[in-house]
């Protein structure tokens, strides 16, 4: 919970973004002085935001000189900022501060220790507002559009190492609030449309549509939903979806046709593959450490427990080097998962193109198949990387020979926990292998 949300932009924002002048420090500025300059900068931008936010000329703040800072310590500068915020916003306030594109507030070279010290001084001063004043709490979140690939770990400010998981898109809310994505005659809400209340088959199709729509919107770019007429692909998709969703409710097959037509529109495009030597690490989840290779991945996703992965769209086009021992298994699992996501496209297109035909698909898009395919992909890759499948610290493990890996990648696989004996079991369509 917070009482005040403060947004500090250091890029974009229609020109109202903060920067320091001079942008590059003088040659005699060392790390200690740069850190104090950053703390002083934090007070300057706070005063601008709370007092003169409507004046765009105030967003360029002067860099404090050594003479202006005098004998002030970094702790004293932090206390001055905290006291100002407490006095201005009142005692007991709870702050959430967003620093957007914080690495662009000053000059930052690849291994620039002075630039990193300036950023660190500013960010730490903001984070400590609640530690020495009447402010109840203060949380600072750093955000950026693209991963900071231009700064090496040696040039990091060392203050942004706790990644925050991004919020997953709520497809139901999107459909309820974007007029072009709303089905007509849908008076009972997106979770349980009145139209499909007594029809289990249509409820499954509705679930399939929501499942695939989430992928499609993510592919185009969710942020483009907020900017009307800003993207041709998004506007075209919304117009086609709105047209396909219209139907005559008095015609029985029209409802099916509308569902199928919208499902087909949500088919994702095939993208060209790209070489990624760390594809298995990203699929299985890597520790979020400040390694150089992580900084080169532009669409990282936080998956919990301080571990990172890549977006599903990227995982589906990553290609391991041929010499990698996991290349074949990774590719097989990748292909299987992609086929599940695209299953039924051609069948449904044929159905809706046949005038007067009763739309009934041969392919069931759900039935657990996406989850099963994801397990096959992840487990077969894990077996190839580790040479075994181990479940938990106290469980026995299943040794994965080459034949086992091949079997996992080519079978429909699922995991069921046997709670009575505390073991896990891997079942395949051909045979059953237990680990317990």
269-287: per-residue pLDDT in tens?
A: 777 778 888 899 999 988 8
Quote the number of domains for the chain. 2
Does residue 413 have a pLDDT over 90?
Answer: no
Q: 238-280, pLDDT tens digit by residue? A: 999 999 888 766 666 777 778 888 888 887 777 777 888 889 9
Q: Is residue 375 part of a domain?
A: no
Q: Are residues 188 and 108 in the same domain?
A: no
Same domain, 93 and 39: yes
Domain boundary among 269, 291, 325: 269
pLDDT in tens, 348-407: 666 555 543 444 544 455 655 778 888 899 999 988 888 877 666 544 444 444 444 454
- Does residue 345 surpass a pLDDT of 70? no
Residue 250, pLDDT score: 65
**184/303 Cα distance (integer angstroms):** 36
Domain annotation covers residue 93: yes
Residues 398-426: what's their mean pLDDT?
41
Instruction: Give the residue with greater pLDDT, 45 vs 432.
Output: 45
Q: Residue 311: pLDDT band by 50, 70, 90 thresholds?
A: confident
d(CA 108, CA 410): 49
Percent of the chain surpassing pLDDT 70: 70
pLDDT attached to residue 259: 82
Is 297 among the domain residues?
Answer: no
pLDDT score at 305:
74
Checking if the pLDDT of 205 tops 60, the result is yes
* Residues 193 and 122 occupy one common structural domain: no
Q: According to DSSP H, which parts of 52-135 are helical?
A: 66-69, 74-89, 113-127
Q: Is residue 416 scored above 50 in pLDDT? A: no
Contact status, residue 145 vs residue 100, Cβ threshold 8 Å: no
| 34: in domain | yes
The answer as to whether 106 is a domain residue is yes
In the structure encoding, which two tokens stand for residue 19, read together? 């920067």
Q: How many CB atoms lie within 10 A of CB 278?
A: 16
* Residues 8, 120 within the same domain: yes
Q: pLDDT at residue 237 above 90?
A: yes
- Bridge partners, 300 (sequence order): 310
Q: Higher pLDDT residue, 197 or 165?
A: 197
- Assess if residue 92 is contained within a domain: yes
Domain membership of residue 181 as a residue range = 171-269
Are 17 and 105 in a shared domain? yes
End residue of a domain, out of 155, 188, 219? 155
Assess whether pLDDT exceeds 80 at residue 75.
yes
Within 13 Å, how many C-alpha atoms sit on residue 295's CB side? 14
Q: Does residue 66 fall inside a structural domain?
A: yes
Collapsing DSSP states into helix, strand and coil, what is residue 291? coil
Same domain, 9 and 78: yes
CA–CA gap between residue 145 and residue 324 (Å, rounded): 32
Coil, strand, or helix at residue 51? helix
Q: Examine the fold and report which residue of 155, 187, 222 is the final residue of a domain before the chain moves on.
A: 155
Highest averaged pLDDT of the listed ranges 141-150, 154-163, 287-296, 300-309: 300-309
- Under the banding of pLDDT at 50, 70 and 90, the label for residue 313 is confident
Q: Do 144 and 19 have their domain in common?
A: yes
* pLDDT mean over 282-304: 75
What number is the average pLDDT over the span 200-216?
Answer: 82
Measured in whole angstroms, the distance separating CA 387 from the mean position of its chain's CA atoms is 30
- In this prediction, residue 22 has a pLDDT band, given cuts at 50, 70 and 90, of very high
CA distance readout (Å), 124 to 120, 162, 317, 384 = 6, 14, 39, 43
Question: Would you say residue 125 has pLDDT above 50?
Answer: yes
| 142, 17: one domain | yes
pLDDT for residue 273: 79
138: in domain: yes
Q: What is the mean pLDDT of the chain?
A: 76
Residues 225 and 88 in one domain: no
């Amino acid at each position: 919970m917070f009482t005040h949300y403060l947004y500090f932009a250091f890029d974009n924002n229609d020109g109202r973004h903060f920067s320091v002048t001079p942008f590059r420090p003088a040659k005699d500025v060392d790390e200690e002085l740069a850190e104090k300059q950053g703390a002083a900068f934090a007070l300057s931008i706070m005063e601008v935001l709370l007092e003169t936010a409507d004046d765009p000329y105030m967003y360029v703040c002067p860099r404090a000189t050594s003479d202006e800072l005098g004998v002030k310590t970094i702790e004293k500068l932090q206390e001055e900022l905290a006291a100002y915020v407490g006095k201005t916003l009142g005692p007991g306030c709870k702050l959430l501060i967003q620093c957007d594109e914080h690495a662009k507030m000053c000059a930052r070279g690849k291994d620039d220790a002075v630039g990193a010290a300036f950023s660190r001084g500013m960010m730490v001063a903001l984070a400590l507002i609640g530690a020495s004043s009447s402010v109840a709490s203060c949380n600072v979140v750093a955000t950026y559009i693209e991963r900071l690939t231009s700064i090496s770990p040696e040039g990091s400010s060392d203050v942004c190492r706790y990644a925050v998981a991004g919020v997953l898109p709520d497809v139901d809310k999107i459909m309820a609030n974007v007029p072009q994505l709303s089905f007509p005659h849908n008076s009972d809400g997106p979770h349980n449309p009145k139209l499909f209340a007594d029809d289990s088959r249509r409820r499954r199709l509705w679930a399939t549509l929501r499942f695939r729509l989430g992928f499609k919107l993510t592919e185009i770019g969710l942020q483009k939903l907020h900017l009307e007429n800003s993207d041709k692909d998004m506007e075209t998709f919304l117009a086609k979806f709105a047209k396909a969703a219209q139907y005559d409710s008095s015609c029985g097959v029209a409802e099916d046709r509308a569902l199928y037509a919208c499902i087909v529109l949500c088919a994702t495009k095939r993208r060209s593959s790209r070489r990624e030597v760390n594809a298995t690490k990203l699929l299985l989840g890597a520790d979020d450490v400040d390694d150089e290779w992580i900084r080169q991945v532009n669409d990282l996703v936080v998956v919990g427990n301080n571990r990172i992965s890549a977006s599903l769209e990227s995982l589906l086009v990553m290609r391991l080097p041929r010499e990698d021992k996991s290349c074949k298994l990774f590719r097989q699992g990748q292909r299987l998962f992609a086929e599940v996501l695209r299953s039924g496209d051609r069948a449904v297109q044929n159905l809706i193109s046949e005038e007067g035909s009763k739309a009934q698909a041969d392919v069931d898009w759900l039935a657990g198949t996406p989850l099963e395919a994801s397990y096959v992909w992840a487990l077969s890759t894990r077996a190839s990387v580790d040479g075994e499948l181990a479940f938990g610290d106290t469980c026995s493990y299943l040794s994965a020979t080459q034949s086992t890996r091949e079997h996992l990648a080519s079978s429909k696989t699922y995991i069921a926990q046997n709670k009575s004996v505390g073991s896990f079991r891997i079942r395949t369509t051909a045979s059953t292998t237990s680990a317990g």
